[in-house]
Amino acid sequence: MEVVILEDATQIGAIAADAIETLLSHKPAAVLGLATGSSPLAIYDELATRCTAGRISFRQARGFTLDEYVGLPADHPERYRHVIDTVFVSRVDFAPGAVAGPDGLAVDIPAACAAYESAIADAGGIDLQILGIGTDGHIGFNEPGSSLASRTRIKTLTRQTRIDNARFFGDDIDRVPTHCLTQGLGTIMSARHVILVALGRTKAEAVHQLVEGPVSAMWPATILQHHPHVSVLLDGGAARRLQLADYYRETYRSKPHWQGI
Ligand code: F6R
């Protein structure tokens, strides 16, 4: 796990976009895993800028979103499918239908989750997965207690996650859905490269557990310690509880620039 402590979200967006640009230059038909939420927004902004400038293209690429609320009407602005279209997909040049998400309106939820796993496998698996992290240590919506080997399935959101996400629902927790479909921890672990972004001091404890805590279902993101290629991109606030922060800073400073993350 590589820990990179950077100035701010803009710098994080640029470094993550560099990794995606490098991937697309080797593999134009790359498969990306796309998180919603506020953490990846600077990455999507930077990718949109580079695409508009003709520096990168998603024309042959595919995308799979991480998760989706259950039961939000198709036209609800906070449906993750709608959010990812707004913040990223509509701003770049993906082919129509190239980005898929779990179907939060499916009648047969287990079948929809199995179909989603099959679609990812049929696309050749995810080359690069973008993640945020919840204050309770969730990735995707794999809340504390999730199976470390789980695949796409329905989950109940914790009260903490619903409080955290109430800002997207008029600060009214009762309007935040109670359930979601999410790629499992096993699904996320199958991605070939994982870039996790955390911003701000509210994430500091979850980041400390992710990087330096014991692997435990109580802090689901800790499963990433078993992944061979994880890049954790942090601002100073999110890094403030790291015991080895100086070491991570020194390691990144002395790394050859051409190497990327
Ligand atoms: C979003 C997702 C969640 C978020 C996490 C952090 O698709 O899967 O795990 O990444 O809740 O959310 P933000 O980035 O809004 O702080």
What are the DSSP calls for 164-212, one per residue?
A: HHGGGGTT-GGGS-SEEEE--HHHHHTSSEEEEEE-SGGGHHHHHHHHH
Residue pLDDT, tens place only, 106-143: 999 999 999 999 999 999 999 999 999 999 999 999 99
Query: Which residues lie with the beta carbon below 6 Å from any ligand 1 atom?
Result: 35-39, 66-67, 132-134, 138-141
Those residues with Cβ within 8 angstroms of residue 242's Cβ, 6 or more apart along the chain or in another chain: 3, 5, 207, 208, 211, 212, 248
Q: Which of 46, 67, 117, 164 is catalytic?
A: 67
Prediction pTM value: 0.97
pLDDT at 259: 86
CA distances from 101 to 4, 34, 62, 63, 165 (A): 29, 9, 11, 8, 19
pLDDT of residue 32: 98
d(CA 197, CA 206): 12
Catalytic residue flag (residue 136)? yes
Q: Which residues of the chain have pLDDT under 50?
A: none
Alpha carbon of 254 to ligand 1 centroid (Å)? 31
41-52 and 9-26 helices cross at what angle (nearest 10)? 50
Calculate how far, in angstroms, residue 179's C-alpha sits from the geometric centre of ligand 1. Answer: 15
Enumerate the β-bridge partners of residue 180.
69, 155
Q: 36: which 2 tokens?
A: 């919603």
Mutate to test the pocket of ligand 1, among 66, 89, 136, 185 (most ligand atoms within 8 A of CB): 66
- Determine the atom of ligand 1 nearest the C-alpha atom of 131: 10
Euclidean distance between CA atoms 41 and 22, whole angstroms: 19
Amino acid of residue 68 = E
Q: What is the pLDDT at residue 257?
A: 79
**Active site annotation includes 205:** no
Query: What separation in Å is there between the alpha carbon of 131 and the centre of ligand 1?
Result: 7
138 part of the active site: yes
Is 143 designated active site? yes
Testing ligand 1's pocket by substitution, the residue of 83, 141, 232 carrying the most ligand atoms inside 8 A of its CB is 141
Residue 44 CA, ligand 1 centroid: distance in Å = 14
Residue of the CA atom closest to atom 11 of ligand 1: 134
Ligand 1, residue 165: give the atom nearest the CA.
Answer: 15
